[in-house]
Amino acid sequence: SLKGKTAIITGSNSGIGLGVAHEMAKAGADIVINSFSDTEDDHALAKSIADEHGVTCRYIQADMSKPDQCRALIEKAGACDILVNNAGIQHVAPIEEFPQEKWDAIIAINMSSAFHTTAAALPMMRKAGWGRVVNIASAHGLTASPYKVAYVAAKHGIVGMTKVTALETAKEPITCNAICPGYVKTPLVEAQIPDTAKKYNMTEEEAIEKVILERQPSREFATTEQIGGTAVFLCSDAAEQITGTTISVDGGWTAL
Ligand code: NAD
């Protein structure tokens, strides 16, 4: 059980982050959820997680594109036994047309934020004598697709950062690993369906099966619960000697 542990999940008012928050709460951890917004819905979401699982859950606003706010998220939480670096965005365009500001935003949110939160969290984990860093990378942290230059670069970067964090904490009761999901049906992926359908002149259903899940041999989306369950496993005693590695949850994508 993760009772008494505090888990901070970045970018967690939707999609995979929210799924991870639920699974961590189900395992007994106190939760901090986060995004850049600060709405009544965000705080109501935290309350609903707390009520459902009988743990504490706070919503802390912080923009993961801003280094100071990444570090402030960890400081404001006051404790960080489990850090799940999940915040991420996508943009799809050929290199020569890829907007510079999208490159900067993706590198900042999908990669650099994890450096800043990890730097702020490690001293707390050392003081507590236990810690788990789980980076949500991607199949695109291990392999590439065209038109996703910033995303693929950031995700490969986070896999590298995972290895360095593991080596720097190897002699301590702290581990760092990356989960590499294939396609998980979340708002991030749903947003890509209409564009893909248009580009290939297909219906959205055809685009899902023939284009999006074409890379995923199972031809099924992974679920946010499965990604959350994998993160909980990485926090279990069975995973104590698992560090500096990647776990693919991709229906066979990276076996191809
Ligand atoms: P999503 O759009 O549902 O969730 C992204 C989350 O990040 C949201 O909660 C959003 O509010 C938050 N976010 C965005 N910009 C932020 C910022 N500047 N500061 C703080 N929070 C911010 O997408 P998702 O699919 O759940 O993606 C979550 C992570 O999983 C991302 O890192 C993504 O790259 C990764 N991933 C997703 C898939 C997939 O198929 N969905 C596959 C592999 C990896």
- 187 C-alpha vs ligand 1 centroid, how far in Å? 8
**Residue 29 scores a pLDDT above 90:** yes
**Residue 188 scores a pLDDT above 80:** no
Helices 15-26 and 40-53: crossing angle, nearest 10°? Answer: 30
Could you list the active site residues? 151
Q: Does ligand 1 come within 6 angstroms of the Cβ of 228?
A: no
| Separate counts of helices (H) and strands (E) for the chain | 10, 7
Atom of ligand 1 nearest to the CA of 16: 26
- Round to whole Å and give the CA distance between 115 and 153: 15
- 79 C-alpha vs ligand 1 centroid, how far in Å? 23
Q: How confident is the model at residue 8 (pLDDT cuts 50, 70, 90)?
A: very high
pTM for the model stands at 0.97
Q: Among 9-23, 125-139, 150-164, 206-220, which is the least confidently predicted range?
A: 206-220
| Mean pLDDT of the region 171-192 | 94
Average pLDDT value over all residues in the chain: 97
**Residue 212 scores a pLDDT above 80:** yes
Closest CA to 66 of 109, 130, 110, 127: 109
**Residue 187 scores a pLDDT above 90:** no
pLDDT of residue 192: 84
pLDDT of residue 36: 98
Contact 55, 81 (CB under 8 A): no
Atom of ligand 1 nearest to the CA of 191: 2
| Mean pLDDT of the region 180-195 | 91
Q: Does ligand 1 come within 6 angstroms of the Cβ of 33?
A: no
Q: Does ligand 1 come within 6 angstroms of the Cβ of 189?
A: yes
Q: Does ligand 1 come within 6 angstroms of the Cβ of 11?
A: yes
Contact 9, 86 (CB under 8 A): yes
Residue burial 94-133, b: 16+ Cβ < 10 Å; e: rest: eeeebeeebbeebbbbbbbbbbbbbebbbebbeeeeebbb
Could you give the ipTM of this predicted complex?
A: 0.99
Question: What domains can you pick out in the chain, each with its CATH number?
Answer: 6-182+223-255 (3.40.50.720)
Per residue in 75-101, pLDDT tens? Answer: 999 999 999 999 999 999 999 999 999
| Mean pLDDT of the region 120-140 | 98
Per residue in 106-118, pLDDT tens? Answer: 999 999 999 999 9
